[in-house]
Amino acid sequence: MNPLRELVANALAGYRLQAKYYALASCVGLAGVAIGLVIFWWLLNAVIQAFGITLDTPVPFNSPVTPWMLLAFFVGFPVGVYLGCALVAGLVGAVLVRLGQLSVSEAIWYALLSRYPSRWMKGKR
């Protein structure tokens, strides 16, 4: 299956989670996006410094740097948020593996593609 399509399908599966796992997934997502925004800001600042742009002067639209800045923004934002979410979900998955609540493969699927174990779904115990 296409990884992007699987991410979307797994995000929609989040609504079928039991209440306690829905709360866990929501907190992991919130923390992941927050850390992802920090990663994105860090990456964007690295690109800004690489091009020698000062933050106190505007960059003209016809500047040769503008397409690269737009590319850095539109690619860096989803990459940063994904990395932040994968990092937080990986840490939570590692804790759950350590506690014996997840297998290693389930933790990897949870961290990288947000695939929830079937026992987390409503109607499962």
Domain ranges for the chain? 3-120
Phi, psi of 61 (to 5 degrees): -65, -30
Query: Are 120 and 101 spatial neighbours (Cβ–Cβ below 8 Å)?
Result: no
State how far the alpha carbon of 118 is from the alpha carbons of 19, 37, 73, 105, 123, in Å: 14, 30, 36, 13, 10
- Record the pTM: 0.82
Distance, CA of 97 to CA of 104 (rounded, Å): 6
State how far the alpha carbon of 17 is from the alpha carbons of 5, 6, 40, in Å: 19, 17, 29
What pLDDT digit, counting tens, does each position of 87-103 carry? 999 999 999 999 999 99
Q: What is the pLDDT of residue 3?
A: 74
Q: What is the pLDDT of residue 125?
A: 59
Q: What is the pLDDT of residue 49?
A: 87
Query: Are 84 and 41 spatial neighbours (Cβ–Cβ below 8 Å)?
Result: no
Low-confidence residues of the chain: pLDDT under 50: none
Q: What is the pLDDT of residue 26?
A: 93
CA-closest candidate to residue 19, choices 123, 91, 92: 123
Query: Are 80 and 39 spatial neighbours (Cβ–Cβ below 8 Å)?
Result: yes
Q: What is the pLDDT of residue 97?
A: 97
| Cα dihedral across residues 86, 91, 94, 96: positive or negative | negative
Q: What is the pLDDT of residue 123?
A: 78
